[in-house]
C-alpha cells in the first residue's frame, strides 16, 4: 500500500469528522493524508439527528443536497405517564436554508463524506492503517503508521489532526485529558425497518421506569433508545427475546427487521484543551456528549468547519500560525454549552426516580402555561447560539454580529434561477456588501492583498441595511463589519488580524 512520505496535514481517524476535515482541506488545496485503522465504515447505530448548522457545514464541505437521505422532523414531543405531553419543541421550518432538524443514517452520510474527500485533488485516504505514535516539534510532525499487513512507514506533515474518536490515542499522546462526568446509565439502541405505523417526529417517552426516546428515520427506519434498569446486563438486553418484549407497544418483532442494536454508556466530557503544539483534536476525541440534544456529531462538524480553513490558510501562507490558537478559544466554550444543554435534556428524559420525575415534569407542564416560557422552550431559545465571546474577529461592532454566523439567504443566480448565498460566496473569505458592491470602495492595493489572502467581494440583497459591509470568514463567521464607505479599513484590519504577509 502506497503511503506518501510528506503531506501538509495528516488526519488520524476517518470517521465523519475526519472525513469532513479531509474534504474541506482538499477543497482548500491542502495536501492531506487521512488514515483509519478500521478497514471500512463503522456500522454501529450511532448519530441519527442533525440540525440546520450541521447541514450548513455539510453544504460548506461540498456535499450536494441529495448526498444522503434525510427525514425532516417537525417536532419533538415529550410525554410521561402522569401528565401526558408536558413539553414540545417546534422544529418545523428552516434556518439558513436548512431544516431545523432531520434524521439520517450515519453510514450513508459517512460514505458520502468519504467519496467527496477522495474526489479532492491532494487528499489521500487509507483505511486499515493505524497511527502508532508520533512526534511533533518546531520542525513539524513525524507520524509512524502501520498497515494491517504489518508494514510500518513514516509520514512527515506540518500538522496532525486527531479525529480518532472517544478513546483518542492522539489525545493521550499529547498528554491531554477529559474533564467531566460519565453517566452511570447504559442505554440499548435499536434500529428497525418496516414499522407499519411509523411516527413522523421524535418522541421522548419520559417514563422513570424506562425512559425511551423514539424517532422516525429515513427509508422506513425507526429508532428506540431504552435506558437499562439497575441489574440489567448488556447480554440480556441485546437478546432478540428482550428486544421483542421492549418493542411490543410499537410493533410485532416478526413484522419488522431489526437492523442494528447496541448497548452504550453515555458520557459528558470535554478535553481540557483542543490543541497542543502541532496536534489538534476534533470530534469525539475532543468532546463527548450524551445524545439527548443530538449534538455529538454536530459539534464535531463545527470543529471541522472552524479548524480546516485555519490550517489551510496557515499552510498556504495566507495567515500566521498564531491564528491556530483561536481554534480552542472559539470551539471549546461552545462545546461545553452544548454538553450542558444535553445534560439538561437528559434530566427531562430520565429523572432518576418517581419523585424527581413528578417535580421535573410537573414544573415543565406548569411552565408551558406561561406563554413567554413556553415560546422560549418550544422555539429552541435554550439552544446556545453558534457565536464566540473571544476569538479571531474584531471585537465590538453593533448588534453582536461579529464572532457569530453570517445568515444564509437565497439570491438570484447568473443563470436566472436562485442559489444559496454560501454557494455564491464560495470557499474563501468574503467582503460582503448589503445592497452595494463593496469592491468599489477598495483601493487597488487592498483589493490585491485581499485577493492574495483568499478574499473576494460580493453584493447580497440587504433592503433594511443597504450600505452595510461585512468581512465573512470561510466558516461563515463574521470577522468585521461597518459602513461600506469604510470597506478599506475593514479589509486592512482583517488582514492584520490574520497576520497575512501583506498586512
Ligand atoms: C447512541 C448514539 C447516538 C448518537 N446520536 C447522535 C445524534 O443524534 N446526533 C449527533 O450529532 N451525534 C450523535 N451521536 C454522536 C456521534 O455518533 C459521534 O459524535 C460521531 O460519530 C463521532 O465522530 P468522530 O469522527 O469524531 O469519531 P468516530 O466516528 O469514533 O471515528 C473515529 C475513527 O478513528 C479511528 N481511529 C482511532 N484510533 C486510530 C488510530 N490510532 N489510527 C487510525 N485510526 C484510528 C477509528 O477506527 C474510527 O473510525 C450519537 C452517538 C451514539 C453512541
pLDDT in tens, 443-490: 999 999 999 999 999 999 877 788 999 999 999 999 999 999 999 999
Q: How far apart are CA 95 and CA 380, in angstroms?
A: 12
- Closest Cα to atom 9 of ligand 1: 294
* Cα–Cα separations (whole angstroms), residue 155 to 3, 8, 158, 321, 416: 8, 10, 10, 21, 48
Report the residue among 12, 13, 57 best suited for mutation to probe ligand 1: largest number of ligand atoms under 8 A from its CB.
Answer: 13
Q: How far is the CA of 222 from the centre of ligand 1 (A)?
A: 21
**Could you tell me which residues come within 8 angstroms of residue 139 by beta carbon, excluding any fewer than 6 positions away?**
none
Residue nearest to ligand 1 atom 37, measured at CA: 164
- C-alpha 113 to ligand 1 mean position (Å): 14
Which whole-number Å values give the CA distances from 334 to 300, 358, 488, in the listed order? Answer: 11, 31, 32
Cβ of 425 closer than 6 Å to ligand 1, yes or no, is: no
Structural domains in the chain, sorted by start: 9-65+104-180+269-342 (3.50.50.60), 410-498 (3.40.30.10)
Nearest-angstrom CA–CA distance, 122 and 138:
24
Q: Does residue 503 register a pLDDT over 50?
A: no
pLDDT at 501: 65
Residue 264 near ligand 1, beta carbon < 6 Å:
yes
Determine the angle formed by the axes of helices 106-119 and 16-27, rounding to 10 degrees: 30
**How many angstroms is it from 311 CA to the middle of ligand 1?**
22
Which residues have C-beta within 8 Å of that of residue 395, sequence separation ≥ 6? 402, 403
Ligand 1: atom nearest CA of 266 is: 53
Contact 345, 291 (CB under 8 A): no
Does the CB atom of residue 345 touch ligand 1 within 6 A?
A: no
Q: Whose CA is nearest to atom 35 of ligand 1?
A: 13
Check if 35 has its Cβ closer than 6 Å to any atom of ligand 1: yes
Q: Ligand 1: does its nearest atom lie under 6 Å from the Cβ of 287?
A: no
Give pairs for 210-214: CB < 8 Å, separation 24+: 211/349, 211/350, 213/292, 213/349, 214/250
SS3 at position 339: helix
Is the Cβ–Cβ distance between 145 and 131 less than 8 Å? yes
Say how far apart CA 502 and CA 446 lie, in whole Å. Answer: 9
Q: Output the average pLDDT for the chain.
A: 94
Question: How many Å apart are CA 412 and CA 433, to the nearest integer?
Answer: 15
Averaged pLDDT, 228-242: 93
Q: How far is the CA of 27 from the centre of ligand 1 (A)?
A: 23
Burial code of 449-458, b = ≥16 C-beta within 10 A, e = fewer? bbeebbbebb
The pLDDT score that the predictor gives to residue 223 is 96
Pocket test for ligand 1, best of 33, 38, 44, 46 (most atoms within 8 A of CB): 46
Helix, coil or strand: residue 266: strand
Model confidence at 378: pLDDT above 70: yes
Residue percentage of the chain with pLDDT more than 90: 85
Nearest CA to ligand 1 atom 20: 297
**How, if at all, do strands 429-434 and 468-472 pair?**
antiparallel
> Mean per-residue pLDDT for 188-199?
92
Q: Alpha-carbon distance 239 to 223, whole Å? A: 17
Q: Tell me which residue of 395, 462, 479, 461 sits closest to 470, measured CA to CA.
A: 479
42 alpha carbon – ligand 1 mean position (Å):
9
- CA-to-CA distance for 272 and 180, rounded, in angstroms? 10
**Closest Cα to atom 11, ligand 1: which residue?**
297
Is residue 343 scored above 50 in pLDDT? yes
Distance CA 397, CA 131 (A): 45
Alpha carbon distances (Å) from 71 to 87, 100, 274, 306: 22, 11, 33, 27
Return the residue matching grid coordinates 512527515: 156
Tell me: pLDDT of 414 over 80: no
**Residue 274 or 197, more confident:** 274
- Confidence at residue 184, expressed as pLDDT on a 0 to 100 scale: 67
Cα→Cα distances 277→141, 161, 325, 392, 472, Å = 10, 11, 10, 19, 27
Atom in ligand 1 nearest the alpha carbon of residue 16: 25
Mean pLDDT, to the nearest integer, of 353-357? 90
48 lines ligand 1 (CB under 6 A): yes
d(CA 16, CA 314): 24
283: left (phi over 0), alpha (psi -120 to 50) or beta: left
With pLDDT > 70 as the criterion, what percentage of the chain qualifies? 99
- Ligand 1 atom nearest the C-alpha of 282 is 26
Q: Are 171 and 19 in contact (CB under 8 A)?
A: no
Q: How many Å lie between the centroid of ligand 1 and the Cα of residue 108?
A: 14
Residues 6+ apart with CB under 8 A from 288: 166, 178, 180, 266, 267, 268, 269, 270, 296
pTM: 0.97
Residues 6+ positions from 21 with CB-CB distance below 8 Å? 11, 34, 161, 163, 282, 304, 307, 308
Amino acid at each position: 500500500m502506497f503511503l506518501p512520505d510528506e503531506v501538509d496535514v495528516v488526519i488520524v481517524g476517518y470517521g465523519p469528522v475526519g472525513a469532513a476535515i479531509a474534504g474541506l482541506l482538499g477543497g482548500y488545496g491542502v495536501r492531506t493524508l487521512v488514515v483509519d485503522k478500521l478497514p471500512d465504515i463503522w456500522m454501529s447505530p450511532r448519530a441519527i439527528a442533525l440540525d440546520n448548522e450541521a447541514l450548513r457545514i455539510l453544504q460548506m464541505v461540498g456535499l450536494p443536497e441529495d448526498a444522503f437521505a434525510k427525514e425532516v422532523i417537525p417536532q419533538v414531543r415529550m410525554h410521561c405517564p402522569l401528565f401526558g405531553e408536558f413539553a414540545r419543541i417546534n422544529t418545523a421550518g428552516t434556518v439558513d436554508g436548512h431544516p431545523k432538524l432531520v434524521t439520517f443514517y450515519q453510514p450513508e452520510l459517512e460514505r458520502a463524506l468519504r467519496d467527496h474527500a477522495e474526489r479532492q485533488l491532494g487528499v489521500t485516504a487509507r483505511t486499515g492503517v493505524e497511527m502508532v505514535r508520533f512526534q511533533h516539534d518546531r520542525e513539524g510532525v513525524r507520524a509512524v503508521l502501520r498497515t494491517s499487513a504489518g508494514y510500518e512507514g513514516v509520514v512527515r506533515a506540518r500538522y496532525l489532526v486527531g479525529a480518532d474518536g472517544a478513546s483518542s490515542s492522539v489525545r493521550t499522546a499529547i498528554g491531554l485529558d477529559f474533564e467531566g462526568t460519565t453517566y452511570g446509565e447504559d442505554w440499548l439502541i435499536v434500529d428497525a425497518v418496516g414499522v407499519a405505523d411509523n411516527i413522523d417526529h421524535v418522541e421522548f417517552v419520559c417514563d422513570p421506569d424506562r425512559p425511551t426516546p423514539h424517532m422516525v428515520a429515513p427509508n422506513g427506519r425507526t429508532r428506540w433508545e431504552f435506558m437499562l434498569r439497575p441489574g440489567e446486563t448488556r447480554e440480556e438486553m441485546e437478546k432478540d427475546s428482550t428486544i421483542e418484549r421492549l418493542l411490543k407497544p410499537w410493533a410485532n418483532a416478526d413484522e419488522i427487521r431489526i437492523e442494528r442494536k447496541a448497548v452504550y454508556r453515555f458520557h459528558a466530557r470535554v478535553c481540557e484543551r483542543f490543541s497542543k503544539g502541532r496536534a489538534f483534536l476534533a470530534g469525539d476525541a475532543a468532546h463527548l456528549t450524551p445524545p439527548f440534544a443530538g449534538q455529538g456529531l454536530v459539534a464535531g462538524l463545527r470543529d471541522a468547519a472552524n479548524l480546516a480553513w485555519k490550517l489551510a490558510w496557515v499552510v498556504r501562507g495566507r495567515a500566521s500560525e498564531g491564528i491556530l490558537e483561536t481554534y480552542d478559544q472559539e470551539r471549546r466554550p461552545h462545546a461545553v454549552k452544548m454538553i450542558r444543554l444535553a445534560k439538561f435534556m437528559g434530566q427531562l428524559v430520565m429523572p432518576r426516580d418517581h419523585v424527581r420525575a413528578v417535580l421535573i415534569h410537573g414544573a415543565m407542564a406548569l411552565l408551558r402555561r406561561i406563554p413567554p416560557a413556553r415560546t422560549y422552550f418550544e422555539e429552541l431559545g435554550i439552544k446556545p447560539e453558534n457565536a464566540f465571546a473571544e476569538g479571531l474577529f474584531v471585537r465590538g461592532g453593533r448588534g453582536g454580529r461579529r464572532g457569530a454566523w453570517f445568515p444564509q439567504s437565497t439570491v438570484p443566480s447568473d443563470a436566472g434561477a436562485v442559489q444559496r448565498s454560501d454557494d455564491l460566496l464560495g470557499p474563501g473569505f468574503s467582503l460582503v456588501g448589503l445592497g452595494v458592491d463593496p469592491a468599489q470602495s477598495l483601493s487597488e492595493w487592498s483589493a490585491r492583498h485581499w485577493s492574495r489572502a483568499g478574499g473576494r467581494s460580493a453584493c447580497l440583497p440587504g433592503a433594511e441595511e443597504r450600505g452595510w459591509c461585512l468581512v465573512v470568514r470561510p466558516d461563515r463567521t463574521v470577522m468585521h463589519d461597518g459602513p461600506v464607505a469604510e470597506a478599506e479599513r475593514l479589509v486592512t484590519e482583517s488582514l492584520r488580524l490574520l497576520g497575512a504577509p501583506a498586512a
